[in-house]
Amino acid sequence: MTGLRHLLSAADLDHAGAIAVLDTAAQMAATQSREIKKLPTLRGRTVVNLFFEDSTRTRISFEAAAKRLSADVINFSAKGSSVSKGESLKDTALTLQAMGADAVVIRHHASGAPHRLAHAGWVDAAVVNAGDGTHQHPTQALLDAFTLRRHLAGGSDNPDGVGLDLAGTHVAIVGDVLHSRVARSNVLLLHTLGARVTLVAPPTLVPVGVEAWPCAVSYDLDGVITDQQPDAVMMLRVQRERMGAGGGAASGATSFFPSPLEYTRTFGLDARRLRMLPDHAIVLHPGPMNRGLEISADAADSDRSVIVEQVSNGVAVRMAVLYLLLAGEREGWS
């Protein structure tokens, strides 16, 4: 791990580095089936979960990961920021520095906040981006890649696909790409790992400038499923404030699509579309789901759904990231 002090973006990982994280995560996952799950690796180190945005599931995932490596964990829920005239990011950072944090896991509503934390000279700690605005969420992409690799690359003799990448696989990412840090992180990491990515969304939810991304873009979910038979479909959450009916007009915002019903009809993963997928295809969702909107109960609860497994893989991947950043395991992570 020559040089990588922080994990701010999926772009920070090259092919070898990404494989190293996934392989380490596989080792971590193996320890989690033991009766005693705790490893002594980060004993005496302090990991701060600095969350400016509510996200219970991501916070407890990082918390479990750090605790299973025996690190001391401090949860710092900093609601608001300099935007709302609370304590500034800088002062919060200086406080963490004074407390001797070894790693700061940060979730922030402003794109680039983890980058500022890492590079403004406020803290010496390793910074892990746990989701920033509409920018990046690299550990989500890593746990998605880990899950995809287990199902699409691993075999009976190598169930976790250790050492393998995702060359030859095709992943469709469906939904609100414009506002999605999950989509941005996955496009970069899946490309690095050799997978082919197709983004599927209404044109209003695809960012201007997407042409430069290493992926294809389609506005036709049925066409992608029928003609391209993707190996995996990743459904993205559609947030309420992007919708037309119910508050949109009153708040002065213009919705990104005409109605939730039209969205579901065109871009939702329902039982019919589920049946059209190839037999081996899996369904992912970063959670929390809007059942009945972007994903039907049929799809969410089907045998193809790996959504619950994503959560447990998240702990293993975050253990790997903290371990590689803090414990001095350097090889293969560049």
Partner 1 sequence: MTTHLLRGASPLGGAATDVLLADGRVAALGADARSGADAGTVTVDADGLVLLPGLVDLHTHLREPGREDAETVRSGTRAAAAGGFTAVHAMANTSPVADTAGVVEQVWRLGRDAGWVDVFPVGAVSVGLAGTQLAELGAMAHSAARVRVFSDDGQCVHDPVLMRRALEYVKAFDGVIAQHAQEPRLTVGAQMHEGAVSAEVGLAGWPAVAEEAIIARDVLLAEHVGSRLHVCHLSTAGSVEIVRWAKARGIAVTAEVTPHHLLLTDELARTYDPLYKVNPPLRTAEDVEALREALADGTIDIVATDHAPHTREDKDCEWAAAAFGMTGLETALPIVATTLVETGRMTWADVARVLSSAPARIGRVDTGPTPQGRPVAVGEPANLTLVDPAARWTVEPRQLRSASTNTPYGGRELSGRVVATFLRGRPTVLDGAPVDTDLDGTDPR
Q: Which residues bind partner 1 (CB under 8 A)?
A: 81-83, 88-90, 108-113, 115-116, 119-120, 132-136, 181, 184, 207-213
Helices (H), the chain: 15-31, 56-68, 89-98, 113-119, 138-152, 181-192, 221-223, 260-267, 271-276, 297-300, 307-326
Q: How far apart are CA 302 and CA 274, in angstroms?
A: 9
Please list the alpha-helical segments (H only) found in 163-214: 181-192
> ∠ CA(87), CA(45), CA(108), 5° rounding?
30
DSSP H or E run through 132: strand 126-132
Q: Which is nearer to partner 1, 79 or 119 (CB)?
A: 119
**Could you tell me the smallest distance in angstroms from the CB atom of residue 111 to partner 1?**
4
Three-state DSSP class for residue 299? helix
Q: Which residues pair with 197 in a beta bridge?
A: 171
* Least separation in angstroms between CB 88 and partner 1: 6
Tokens at 292, concatenated: 């009945």
CB of 218 to partner 1, least distance (A): 17
**Is the CB of 182 or the CB of 232 nearer to partner 1?**
182
Compare residues 198 and 313 and give the one whose CB is closer to partner 1.
198
Distance CA 200, CA 334 (A): 32
Min dist. Cβ of residue 207 to partner 1 (A): 4
**Smallest distance, Å, CB 92 to partner 1?**
11
What is the number of helices (H) and of strands (E) in the chain?
11, 9
- Tell me whether residue 135 or residue 273 sits nearer to partner 1 (CB atom): 135
Nearer to partner 1, 167 or 253 (CB): 253
CA nearest neighbour of 188 among 8, 326, 27:
8
- Gyration radius of the chain over CA positions: 20
Q: Measured from the CB atom, is 135 or 237 closer to partner 1?
A: 135
> Minimum distance from CB of 179 to partner 1 (Å)?
9
